[in-house]
Amino acid sequence: VDRRDAKLALAHVYVAFIALLLGGLAGLLQVFVRSGQFKLPAGIGYYQVLTVHGVLLGLILTTFFIFGFQIAGVSRTSGTFTDKQRLLGWIGFWLMTIGTVAAAVMVLLNKATVLYTFYAPLQAHWIFYLGLTLVVVGSWIGSAGQISRYVQWRKEHKGQTSPLLSFMVVVNNLLWFVASLGVAVSVLFQLLPWSLGLIERVDVLLSRTLFWYFGHALVYFWLLPAYMVWYVVIPKVIGGKVFSDSLARLSFMLFLIFSVPVGLHHQLTEPGIDTTWKFIQVVLTMAVVVPSLMTAFSLFATFELRGRELGGKGLFGWFKKLPWKDARFIVPFIGMLAFIPGGAGGIVNASYQMNQLIHNTIWVTGHFHLTFASAVVLTYFGAAFWLIPHLTGRKLTKSLNSLGIVSGVLWAVGMTIMSTAMHIAGLLGAPRRSDYSEYGGAQQAYDWIPYQIAQAVGGTILFIAILVITYIVIKLAWFAPKGEEEFPIASIHESSGPTPPMLENFKVWLVILVALIIFAYTIPIFDIISNSPAGSKGFKFW
């Protein structure tokens, strides 16, 4: 990657890892509070810490790491950015950073204790919403730079299949853009004028619906960069090839069309939305599982093909041949393993009847600590182990590689304890997002306590892992020996066959996406607006 592009990518990655350290610390405080053994000092509130945790890890770590990785990926596979494209990247970076600082200050002043979902009726200071708006607008500008580099490549290579990684980056940026329109509408027309006192009331159901229109696609915006690593990088790290270019592109296009029209599966217990539409979006949710199953299939095929090439015999002999001592492989692999129960839990969540049991319990927190905080985040860590030295012109030494494996194992142990405890306590009815409480001495609340203590144990191990990772990142950024670290990009397997041009026809897929969104959301939103009790004193519609 060109030095100038590397600088831009690194700026994003550094902010991401600062967010990891601070957000992780907030997580540690939370599990301590919930164990009932610890009280927050100096009047700091539980929900304030929970907001710090969710915003820094769910919104800031992710967006910044994803942009850093994507910029490097496009520059590596489509070519160095032009000055204009790079300028867009820097404008985006600074807007996002200023927005983050503004929002963070408001949370620290306890003026924006609204959790990472920030929907009404919780209200924050207007500077918090303005900060988030800057993060979103900055991300649009930054992604415009990446998309423009891909478009330039296609113009210069007419009739050729584009580089797989750049193609994937473009899909993820489009998904992000379409999804963030929902939250932009809610912030600009509801939350910001409401917190400025320009309107007296907002429609809570509409605010939640607009958030979840964005919110579920958001989780795939986090996931797709991990899938980029699984499809394109990991095969090279293990010495193999991409199993099928067409399958990889198809799975990304399916994510593009199915990620957005599924938000209602977060609102299955909410009154005010007709069950027919909930049912339709549950069906679409089951459709968005398909590209993940395709990914699992493709990964197994890649691993088996490579293992057999290396002489692995019998049904599982190939498995032993994989590079188990390479942190760049094993850390994301632990993430893949976590994604199996995490994804299965997602299917439980999406199943209407079972959702009644687990909704708003700490089971949901367990689910996204397996999917997001394990599958996705461990893949980001595994990628950072080669990405940072590649960008800084240093080497991942043997000892840092071993420390990387240690961090992955610590994560696996900590997360197994914490997430299992969360799933079980959730089935016993323990609420999510809840401060420690004995619920008036209710027996049921006592049954949760051992699991909350287990969560504190798991959370502590996770925080130790974060400290190890921070140490590795600092070493790789500034102190590891100078050298050249590879940016691994696998070539396509010979048996893959030609890629149908249809898979790169963005117009067709975007039309399908828009049609699905109109189908899944028009009537529910029309119903919400026409039944809205807000009105008399606020905007007529909102």
* Cβ 449 to ligand HAS shortest distance, Å: 23
Nearest distance, CB of residue 183 and ligand HAS, angstroms: 14
Q: Whole-number minimum distance, CB 7 to ligand HAS, in Å?
A: 29
Peptide bond into 121 cis (omega under 30): yes
Q: SS3 of 431, please?
A: strand
Secondary structure letter of residue 394 according to DSSP: B
Give the integer Cα–Cα distance in Å for 16 and 22. 10
Instruction: Return the residue of 285, 407, 419, 532 that touches ligand HAS, per CB under 6 A.
Output: 285
Q: Say how many CA atoms lie within 13 Å of 206 toward its Cβ.
A: 24
Catalytic, 367? Answer yes
- Contact assessment for residue 118 and residue 176, using Cβ atoms and an 8 Å cutoff: no
Comparing every residue's Cβ against ligand HAS, the nearest one is: 343
Residue number, 339 or 521, with CB nearest to ligand HAS: 339
Asked if 340 touches ligand HAS (CB under 6 A), the answer is yes
> Which residue in 154, 359, 433, 493 is the catalytic one?
433
Inter-helix orientation angle 62-78/204-228, to 10°: 40
**Of the ranges 9-17, 99-107, 296-304, 480-488, which one interacts with ligand HAS (CB under 6 A)?**
296-304
343 interacts with ligand HAS by CB under 6 A: yes
* Environment class of 447 (CB within 10 Å of its CB; exposed 0-12, middle 13-18, buried 19+): middle
CB of 346 to ligand HAS, least distance (A): 3
Task: With beta carbons less than 8 A apart as the criterion, state whether 214 and 207 touch.
Answer: no
Whole-angstrom Cα distance, residue 509 to residue 483? 42
Q: Partners of 133 in the beta sheet?
A: none
The span from the CA of 440 to the CA of 442, in Å, is 6
Pick from 181, 296, 310, 453 the residue near ligand HAS by CB under 6 A.
Answer: 296
Q: Which of 225, 235, 346, 426 binds ligand HAS (CB under 6 A)?
A: 346
Is 216 annotated in the active site?
Answer: yes
HSE (side-chain half, CA atoms, 13 Å) at 52: 27
Backbone angles phi, psi at 239, to 5 degrees: 85, 15
- Name the token pair of 43: 């009047």
CA proximity to 420, closest of 338, 351, 349 = 338
- Provide the minimum distance between the beta carbon of 137 and ligand HAS in the complex, in angstroms, as a whole number: 23
Burial 118-145 (b: 16+ CB within 10 A, else e): bbbebbbbbbbbbbbbbbbbbbbbbbbb
CA 225/CA 63 separation, integer angstroms: 11
Which window, 192-200, 343-351, 394-402, 450-458, contacts ligand HAS (CB under 6 A)?
343-351
Nearer to ligand HAS, 6 or 31 (CB): 31
**Where does this chain touch ligand HAS (CB under 6 A) — which range of 45-53, 339-347, 437-445, 513-521?**
339-347
The token pair at 407 is 């961090």
By CB under 6 A, tell whether 292 contacts ligand HAS: yes
For position 293 contacting ligand HAS by CB under 6 A, the verdict is: yes
Looking at the Cβ atoms of 193 and 426, the one nearer to ligand HAS is 426
| Using rule CB under 6 A, residue 350 touches ligand HAS | yes
Q: Shortest Cβ distance from residue 430 to ligand HAS (Å)?
A: 14
List 101, 188, 198, 347, residue binding ligand HAS (CB under 6 A): 347
Q: Which of 289, 354, 406, 529 binds ligand HAS (CB under 6 A)?
A: 289
Task: Name the packing angle between helices 3-35 and 62-78 (round to 10°).
Answer: 150
- Subset of residues 187 to 226 that bind ligand HAS, contact rule: CB under 6 A: 219, 222-223
374: nearest Cα among 421, 325, 407, 399: 407
Binding of ligand HAS at residue 63 (CB under 6 A)? no
Q: How far is CA 359 from the centre of its chain?
A: 20
Among 4, 188, 198, 300, binds ligand HAS (CB under 6 A): 300
Three-state DSSP class for residue 531:
coil
Contacts of ligand HAS in 309-338 (CB under 6 A) = 336-337
Active-site residue among 243, 368, 372, 381? Answer: 368
Residue 162 or 379: the one with the smaller Cβ distance to ligand HAS is 379
Residue with tokens 């619920």: 439
CB of 538 to ligand HAS, least distance (A): 26
| 88-117: contacts with ligand HAS (CB under 6 A) | 117
* Catalytic member of 149, 201, 216, 265: 216
Shortest gap between Cβ of 316 and ligand HAS (angstroms)?
9
Stretch that binds ligand HAS, among 152-160, 165-173, 295-303, 469-477 (CB under 6 A): 295-303
Q: Is 379 a residue that touches ligand HAS (CB under 6 A)? A: no
**Tokens encoding 345:** 């839990």
CB 120, CB 190: distance < 8 Å:
yes
CA 284 to centroid of chain Cα atoms: 20
* 220 noted as active-site residue: yes
Site string for ligand HAS, 264-283 (x = CB under 6 A): -xx-----------------
Phi and psi dihedrals of 492, rounded to 5?
Answer: -85, 140
Q: Where are the beta strands (DSSP E) in 132-189?
A: none
Smallest distance from the beta carbon of 343 to ligand HAS, in angstroms? 2
Could you list the active site residues?
Answer: 216, 220, 367-369, 432-433
- Residues making contact with ligand HAS (CB under 6 A): 117, 219, 222-223, 265-266, 285, 288-289, 292-293, 295-296, 299-300, 336-337, 339-340, 343, 346-347, 349-350, 355, 359, 364, 367-368, 371-372, 376
